[in-house]
Amino acid sequence: MKKTKQTHQLLARVLAQVLFVSGLLLATSLMAGPLQQSELASIGFQEHHVGKVILVQLVTPNLPLAKRFYGGLFGWQFRDLKLEGEDYAEASMNGQLVAGLIHKPFPINETRQSSWLSFIAVHDVDSIQKLATALGAKTLLEPHTIANRGREAVFLDPQGAVFGVLGSTSGDPPDELADPGEWIWSSLSTTDPELIAGFYQTLFKYEVFDLPSDQGVKHLILTSDGYARTSVNSLPTSRLNTRAHWLNYVRVVDVDAMSAKTVSLGGHVLVEPRVDRHGGKVAIVSDPLGAPFGLFEWPETQDQGAAQ
């Protein structure tokens, strides 16, 4: 189903009300070597959407366990690759690339957890690196080229959140409403939303909208091409010592059922399902190795109403 501007506007309002995320510490040691050839990633698109999250990638020390968990939870199918000796798996649904999962052993003496990394679309990765570092970001993974995908880099933003950028040579996925089992939203929780929104606005030319919150916290929506792309939210005052972090949400049909299924597969519920004023629900969960992600219930009735 295509996303209309009305759908995005309604989605933005809902997200502003419910995506006040509890602080969750994401690991900052991310990524191994560059990808080998990817059949799914080589599928060409005729569109480019700077500022859109176009790839979400898991870094995990136990790839077989991650595949069993996410395959059991969402029905993802996997294609295995080798990355300079490291194991990598592409997750897909109905032949469409959903995510990447990379095996990265963690040193025994270091406390880390699996983590999901968001990649944001850009035209020129090297120019973005120069601009990002000039604005106070740190480069965690230098720009490098990936066969059949493009050029990417990974940064630590000025408030400590990790994010990636990807200049795709095969185009960016079109703006269509996510099906259940696909990523529907990404949000950033941080100590100073307005300041960091300015950082991302400079990088990706977002328009920034400050939406009112009944809780007295900041909810900023970042848009490009007339579409809501992400939100920037205040960390809870009780968790101001928590590192700023991105959190990605998967669309599901039933948040309660999927939360229970998460636990049955060895994962954990971090923030219990809650109802938003439009009747949908969100929850925050983690996989068995600690990677947090969100579950987002976006009923078909809302999609149809927004399109009218």
C-alpha span between 199 and 68 (Å, rounded): 38
List of residues 6+ apart from 211 with CB closer than 8 A: 12, 13, 16, 219, 220, 221
Query: Residue 177's pLDDT is what?
Result: 87
166 DSSP β-pair partners: 121, 152
Residue percentage of the chain with pLDDT more than 90 = 58
C-alpha span between 107 and 87 (Å, rounded): 17
pTM of the model: 0.82
- Strands of the sheet with 150-156, listed across from one edge: 77-83, 86-93, 96-103, 53-60, 115-121, 162-168, 150-156, 138-146
Q: pLDDT band at residue 52, thresholds of 50, 70 and 90? A: very high
For the stretch 28-47, pLDDT in tens is 222 223 333 444 344 556 67
Helix (H), strand (E) at residue 68: helix 63-74
C-alpha span between 239 and 191 (Å, rounded): 9
For the cut 50, the answer to whether the pLDDT of residue 100 exceeds it is yes
- Domains, the chain, in order of start with CATH, read 5-24+176-211+225-307 (3.10.180.10), 53-168 (3.10.180.10)
* Mean pLDDT of the chain, nearest integer: 81
- DSSP label at 95? T
The token pair at 267 is 């994962």
Residue type, position 200, single letter:
Y
DSSP 230-280: EEEEEPPGGGTTSPPEEEEEEEES-HHHHHHHHHHTT-EEEEEEEE-TTS-
DSSP 282-299: EEEEE-TT--EEEEEE--
